[in-house]
Structure 1
Amino acid sequence: MAAVHGVRIFADLVPGVLVDTEPGAAEALLKLEAAAAELAAFHAIATQLHVLAEKPV
Structure 2
Amino acid sequence: MQTPNKNTCTNCGKPLDEVCYAENEQAAIAGLALCEACAVPPPEPEPAKPTPRKRTTKRSAA
TM tier, shorter chain?
under 0.3
Which structure has more relative contact order (CA 8 Å, sep 6+)? It is 1
Higher helix share: 1
Higher strand share: 1
Normalised by the length of structure 2, the TM-score is 0.24
After TM superposition, the score normalised by the length of structure 1 is: 0.26
